[in-house]
A and B are shown apart, each in its own frame.
Chain A
């Protein structure tokens, strides 16, 4: 064909064939090597025998009783302590808990009625409590360096400019301290940085200075005004550098906000309203929770072993702390308040009957409360820290049969989540109103005074692997974003791999996904948005509520511990 040019037909076919072979090899190896669907994180394998699914009854976390009420506010007390509990049948597992249970006790509040929770730290390490989704003044928002030190933990080194002894308490004039001592503190925020000192004994977290940290000893009062839409919130540890392993060990609980308007809707309630905290874990041979910490005492060196840098996944799916539980239900509508409390695992949930039929998952609420109108899903994606309020109708399901909740992104044992056994016929006067709420903000692009762009990406941090926002690892002393109270802003978030991005203080609405309209499950007011690989999401919010220092970060807990947080200063 290419005679005269020195190319024989045989050579052309040879070159073409070689190129074709390369293309085919490349694509088939991409198909074989890549995770399909994409997943971010590495799975730990349990070293103990795992129970069969759907045997353990679903626990419902107890609702905590207030210890007192005064001035229109409720007061609660929670003790953070180590316990040993039976999660897998016949296996004792040491846990870090709120009040001795995992999940911690559920707190139920009324909208606008302030709630003060006094936390006492009897754990071996400092803690910080953050109420996820709470519209909370900065002093009680659980900033990662606002530590509650346990007894016996060395006094933090003082910043040079204070010139005071390490034990001298300082009145800080902030609202969230209660009876505890407060002191400015300059030694937190390590990220494995260089050790700045040679104190003997445990030397917690060295490196970056945070002169604004407010540290207390043993106890701290967190006050939540809860002047916000009724919804399912959750509280969890948020300690600098060690959030992921602390949540993994059990420091997470639910906090539900209700109001009269929601109560009046006629949604399934009482025993037909079920909170479902889904979390994956793995178990070591001695029954303890396996986690690839570099420092298993969680005292000094943050981080996880190299293979788990993208996130830690477990091979056991817990719902409300029980492995693959089963729950007996009436043949009626149930309101399921689903939280993904996993560190890194994403789920795509569906409810499948014994004969393979998929039940409708009627979404009535998002992270920040009720939608305007119900949205019906068959498949519901849920990223770490997201919440979905869904109603499932078991009335058409044969009595005695199972409805399995399945994770389409899982494989093997992690495909199952839990099951409902439809036990009996029952009357059902619940309903799903066509109009659920009318108070959703409808911020428009034209109102936005600013558009900001953030890349959530892997990168280098302190000469190691880290996760960066806008090219920078977290530094408590650096203000990344300054927003004026009351301003509407559009944020454009771009991800390399999965990043569930969470803003403290405010709810937001999803404007677009990769330049296209939001997905059905993006409806309503959210505080965490799931960015999938290569995806860009636009959100819009108004920064209102309170001034002060807040955070936004990736809620893949390992990413968050490895730099993927940034400061949001509301002025």
Chain B
């Protein structure tokens, strides 16, 4: 049944899976680099900063893909979830630059959780048109 479902995921759906997967992989590096940095390795900071640029960029890319998913597959959920994640990442980016650690640390953990939940969500079921699934 799962293989049947997989075969019906559309190219748009596959694109969302790819970008969410890249997003999850990239964001997993952020706490790693932060730990390296706070252990006294100064280069950890530039890795963390570069990671923030990559993660945030992927986030905006995912937002575009999620709009396509909404338009083509008539599924709004990926867009709404991505919009929330991108908003959090934007706040997170500036909280990091500003050194606002009371916000940066918990928000970072929550953002990672949110991306992981999205990752599970896009892979646990086929991504198809809403009316096709309802039919």
A interface residues, Cβ below 8 angstroms from B: 1-5, 19, 22-23, 26-27, 30-31, 33-36, 38, 453-455, 457, 470-471, 492, 494, 496, 514-515, 532-536, 538
Contact = CB atoms under 8 A, between A and B. Distances in A.
B102 A38 contact: yes
Choose among B49, B101, B103, B125 the residue with the greatest number of A CB atoms under 10 Å from its CB: B101
A3 B41 CA distance: 50
Contact of A494 (B40, B99, B117): B40
B110 interface: yes
Secondary structure type dominating chain B contacts? helix
Nearest to B80: A16
A497 to B, nearest CB: 9
A38 B103 CA distance: 11
Nearest to B113: A19
Given A19-B117, A533-B101, A534-B101, A26 B38 contact: no
Please classify how large the interface on chain B is, using the bins under 10, 10 to 19, 20 to 34, 35 or more: 20 to 34
Interface in B75-113: 77, 99-107, 109-110, 113
Contacts, number: 71
Contact of A27 (B41, B42, B46, B106): B106
A453 B109 CA distance: 27
Interface string B40-54: 111001100100000
B102 A470 contact: no
B39 interface: yes
B42 A492 contact: yes
B42 A536 contact: yes
Contacts of B124: 5
Nearest to B88: A23
Nearest to A534: B101
A457 B125 contact: no
Interface in B23-73: 37-42, 45-46, 49
A173 to B, nearest CB: 38
Choose among B40, B99, B103, B113 the residue with the greatest number of A CB atoms under 10 Å from its CB: B40
Contacts of B100: 36
B110 A494 contact: no
Given A453-B42, A533-B99, A23 B110 contact: yes
Contact of B103 (A2, A30, A533): A30
A492 B44 CA distance: 12
Interface string B109-131: 11001100100000011000000
